[in-house]
Amino acid sequence: MTGRFEGRTVIVTGASRGIGLGIAQRVVDEGGKAVITARKEEELVAAVKELGEGNAVYSVGKADDAAHQEATVKLAVDTFGSADFLVNNAAVNPHFGDLTTIGLDAARKMLDVNVTAPLFWAQAAYQGWMKEHGGGVVNIASVAGLRPPPMIGWYGVSKRALIGLTEQLAMELGPGIRVNAVAPAVVKTKFASALYEGKEEEVSAVYPLKRLGVPADIASVVTFLLSDDSSWMTGQTLTVDGGVMLAGQL
């Protein structure tokens, strides 16, 4: 691996496993340090061991907790000397069904975690480091935010809002801070398991590349957007979907 992230630190939310952990691993593999967050300490402890002692630390808390956000940025600066990058990966989807059946609490929770929390993580990173030093933000959106999806419509609405937030932050935080997003299709993680478990062959058949994604597929694109290799890109949402949008499918 290259040393693209030597001397730089990334904060990744929702990173005890899956896409978030894959992103942290790629940054560490390329010379950087990682601060990972999630709700369950035992999973974070295991993830830090996987990343390698000295390469990462963890912060336990809920993604939409303001005190947790500020404390995590401070932890990054105190431990590794910077908070150069933020990846808003944490998300929830407590409802599977039509919009006519979603409850108020579930709808509000999705907006709190999937949209409002990324805004305030960006604020915390801005105030705690990036305002003076610059940096980069990548938000993990979804192809569900690009086209209305079946059965996860409100999740799609929240991801469409996250794409809008990405564009607004890019306008306001340039030139020192670049803000981009990635919109994956189905990636083989615990979070997305309801979409493919027991039917993976059937689901992947509509993808031109004939397979579902894995966390490394997303991590490679996220680290490209964080790195100087994308230094003239901001406000963009890159679709990483195995070609499924070309097939008119979600």
Catalytic annotation, residues: 155
Integer Cα distance of 138 and 88 in angstroms:
6
Integer Cα distance of 207 and 235 in angstroms:
27
Q: For 52-62, give one letter per residue: b (16+ CB within 10 A) or e.
A: eeebbbbbbbb
> What tokens were used for 98?
């039509």
Q: CA 96, 101, 103, 108 torsion: positive or negative?
A: positive
By C-alpha distance, which of 166, 189, 162 is closest to 18?
Answer: 189
Q: Tell me the pairing of strands 237-240 and 177-184.
A: parallel
Give me the count of residues in the chain.
250
Q: Could you give the C-alpha distances from 12 to 63, 118, 212, in angstroms and in order?
A: 11, 11, 23
